[in-house]
Chains A and B, each alone.
Chain A
C-alpha cells in the first residue's frame, strides 16, 4: 500500500513504454492479489462494524428483530445509565492505573536485567512467563488469591493484621465525588484487578524496554559520561528520551487491551457489587446475550470502538506520516 514514489515518474521517458506497461501490470497484479483479503476485511470487519452501527440506531431490544430507526436513543439511555457511567469510570481508572504501573515495573525490571547480571536468561523468562497464560487463567487464579476469606488474607491474618483488605469485594470508591448518577473516584475493588493484569503484562513491558535498552549503543552512554553526566543524568537525559518510541508502542498495545478488557474481569470478579469492577465489555455481553438487548449491546460496542480509536488513530496517522516521509 506504499504510495508510488515520484522517482518512478522521472523514469517514464518515451522509449521505455514496455517498462511502463509492466509497472501498470504490476500494480494491477498487486491489486488483484489483494482482492481476497480486501474482500474478507471489507465484509468481516468493516461490514460488520457497519451492521453493528446500524443495529445501535434501531430498537432491536428483544429476541424479535425489530429494526425501527430510533436515532441516538440507545446512546442517550446508556449515558444516563448508572451501570454504564460506572463502566466508563472503571475503564478510565483501570486503564490509567494498569498502564502506568506496567510501565514503571516493566522499566525497573528491564533496567535491572540490563545490568548483565548472572542468570539473566532465567529471570527474563520468569518475568515474561505470565504473558503466556490466558486472561481467563490469570483471572481464576487471582480470584482465589484475593478471595477475602480464603486467599492471601489468611497470610495477612497470620501476620497479625486484624482487618485485612477485602480486595475485589470492597465497594468503597475513593474519593467518591458525586458525578452524574455515580460516585467518581478509584473503586478499591479495581485495585485487585489491576494487580492481576499488571502481573500478567509487566513482563511484556519489560521485554519491550529491554529490547529498547539493548538497541541503545554504548557509545552514546560513553559520550554522555565523557561529557560529565552522572549515571542518573545519563538515564534521565539520554536513555529515557531514546526509549520514548518504545513507551509509545507499549502504551498503545496495553491501552487497547485495557480498553477492551473482558475475559479477565469476567473470570475474576464479574460485574461486582454495585458494579465496582464492571467494564463495558462485560455489560455488552450481559445485555446482549442475556437480556437480548441487541441494540443496546451494539451501542456499547460502537462506543468501545470509538474509545480504542481515540488511542489508535493518532498513532496510525503519525506512523503513516513517518512512512510517507521516508
Chain B
C-alpha cells in the first residue's frame, strides 16, 4: 500500500510536469512570435543554379542596405514550385505565413490568396516608391484585384519560346519555324534523319500543359486565348479543337521517353543534339548558359513558338505581404529593395529573366535578355495556364490531369469537354 501511495504521488507529479511543460511550450512560441529581433523570412522555390544565385545576390543587396535585419531564406526545391506551393498552402491555412512569399502574378495570386483575404494591399508602398509608372500597366493589373495592388513583380519570364540546336538546324538547312506549317515541315525532315524533332519532358505534368498553352496561343491569338479563361470562348469551340488537333500532331514528333523526363532533361536533349527543338520558358536559357555552359546564338538558338511572334506569354514572379506576417516592417523593406531598379538588375541577369520595371539598365543583360526586354514592351501579354496566371490553381491541376491523359489517348473531344466542364466548376 505504501508503495502504491508513493507511486500515485509520482503520477500526479508527472501529470503536473506535463501540464506545466505544455503551458511552457505554448508560452515560448508566443514569445518568439513577438520577438523584437528584426527578421524577414523569404519563401520561394528558387533553388536551381541561376535562380539561387540571383536570390542570394538580392539578399546580399538587401543586407547591405538593412544591416539590422536578418534574412531567413526559406526556399523549397521543386520545378515550377509545385512542392513549395503545397508547403505554402499548409502554412497559410495554419496561420503561420512566411513574411513574404513568391507567387506568380495573375490567378495564382488573385483567385487564391487575395480571394481568401490573406493578403495586405500595397497601394501605399507603390505610391510612396513612385512605382505606378515604373511597371507596365498590364503587369500591375495582373497583381491587382478591385483596384488594390497585392504584390511586387521582380522578374518577367517568357513562356512561348522555341529553343533549337543551332548545329542540327544548320546541317539540315532548316530555318527557325515561325508558323505551324514550317514547324511540321521541319519536324518531318528531322524525323526522316533520325533526330527527335521536339523534346518534351512531362514527368511533372505541367510540361505537357506548357506546350499546349503555347499552341493555343499560337492558334487562337492573344485575344481569343485570353477569352478562354473567362469562359467567353468555349473549349468546345471548333477553333479550339483545331488547336488541340495541332497539339496532338506535334506530340507525334516528341521523344518516346517523355514521361521519364522533367523539363531540364528535355532541354538537355537539345543541348546534346539528341533532339532539335524544345518548347520551354526562357528559364531554359539560364539552364543552357549557366548549367551547361552553352553559348547563346552559337550553340543554341531561339524564336517564338509557332504563331506567337507578337505575343508574350508572361510568367512573373512576385512577392507580397501576407496578413498576419510576423515582421511586416522588415518585409516592406524587402519589397522596396525588390521593386527598385537596382534590385531588379542585380537579380535578373543571374536568374536569366528580364526585369519587370520599364527603366532597368538594358546593358546588364545578354543577347537574349536584350531582345526579350524589347519584345516585352512591344508584344501583347498573355497569361500562362501551366504556371498559374490564367486560371485558379484547382483548374490548373485538373487541366494537367486531362492533358496527361490526352498525351497518351489523344482524344480531342474528351479533352475539350473535360476542360470546359472543369473550368465551369472552377469559375462557379
- Interface positions of A (Cβ within 8 A of B): 22, 25, 29, 32-33, 36, 61-64, 82-83, 143, 147-149, 166, 168-169, 171, 269-275, 285-287, 289-293
Contacts and interface: CB of A to CB of B under 8 A. Distances in A.
B259 A273 contact: yes
Interface stretch (B60-68, B108-116, B290-298, B310-318): B108-116
B1 A149 contact: no
A61 B259 CA distance: 28
Interface stretch (B49-57, B352-360, B372-380, B393-401): B393-401
A29 B408 contact: no
A98 B202 CA distance: 27
Given A271-B205, A275-B404, A25 B4 contact: yes
12 contacts: A36-B18, A63-B89, A148-B256, A166-B257, A169-B256, A270-B203, A274-B409, A290-B85, A291-B398, A292-B89, A292-B393, A293-B397
A185 B332 CA distance: 57
B11 A33 contact: yes
Interface string B1-39: 100100110010001001000000000000000000000
B408 A273 contact: yes
Given A63-B115, A273-B407, A292-B89, A148 B4 contact: no
B407 A274 contact: yes
Q: Give the residue among B86, B257, B259, B405 with the most A Cβ atoms within 10 A.
A: B259
A166 B394 contact: no
A169 B255 CA distance: 11
A166 B204 CA distance: 18
A290 B86 contact: yes
B5 to A, nearest CB: 10
Contact of B396 (A64, A143, A274, A291): A291
Given A63-B115, A64-B115, A169-B257, A275 B85 contact: no
B320 to A, nearest CB: 14
A62 B7 CA distance: 52
Contacts of B218: none
A233 B48 CA distance: 62
B392 interface: yes
Contacts of B202: 273
Given A64-B115, A273-B407, A83 B257 contact: no
Nearest to B82: A290
B260 A63 contact: no
Contacts of B407: 273-274
Contacts of B112: 62-63, 292
Which applies to chain B's interface (DSSP): helix, strand, loop or mixed?
Answer: helix
B85 A289 contact: yes
Nearest to A167: B260
A30 B409 CA distance: 61
B397 A83 contact: no
Contacts of B392: 62
Nearest to A25: B4
B394 A292 contact: yes
B259 A169 contact: yes
A29 B6 CA distance: 12
B202 to A, nearest CB: 7
B404 A290 contact: no
Interface string B80-97: 001001100110110000
Given A32-B11, A289-B85, 14 more contacts: A63-B93, A64-B115, A169-B256, A169-B257, A169-B259, A269-B203, A270-B205, A271-B404, A273-B407, A274-B408, A286-B397, A287-B397, A290-B85, A290-B397
Contacts of B205: 270-271
B18 A61 contact: no
A296 to B, nearest CB: 9
A166 B11 CA distance: 62
A293 B116 contact: no
Interface string B255-271: 01111100000000000
Nearest to B407: A273
A22 B259 CA distance: 68
B404 A22 contact: no
Given A148-B256, A166-B257, A291 B397 contact: yes
Given A64-B116, A82-B405, A147 B260 contact: yes
Contacts of A274: 404-405, 407-409
A25 B112 CA distance: 57
Contact of B393 (A147, A166, A269, A291): A291
Contacts of A272: 259
- Which 7 A/B pairs are nearest by Cβ-Cβ distance? A291-B397, A289-B86, A274-B408, A273-B259, A148-B257, A63-B116, A291-B394
A261 B257 CA distance: 24
A289 B89 contact: yes
B323 to A, nearest CB: 13
A63 B113 contact: yes
Contacts of A289: 85-86, 89-90
A303 B34 CA distance: 42
Contacts of A269: 203, 259-260
Contacts of B92: 63
A284 B44 CA distance: 23
B257 A29 contact: no
Nearest to A290: B397
Contacts of B15: 36
B408 A166 contact: no
A169 B260 contact: yes
Nearest to B399: A291
Contacts of A25: 4
B397 A61 contact: no
Contacts of B90: 289
A290 B393 contact: yes
Given A62-B392, A273-B407, A148 B260 contact: yes
A318 B239 CA distance: 63
A77 to B, nearest CB: 10
Contacts of B89: 63, 289, 292
Contacts of A169: 256-260
Q: Give the residue among A169, A275, A293 with the most B Cβ atoms within 10 A.
A: A169
Interface in B375-428: 392-394, 396-398, 401, 404-405, 407-409
A291 B426 CA distance: 11
A29 B8 contact: yes
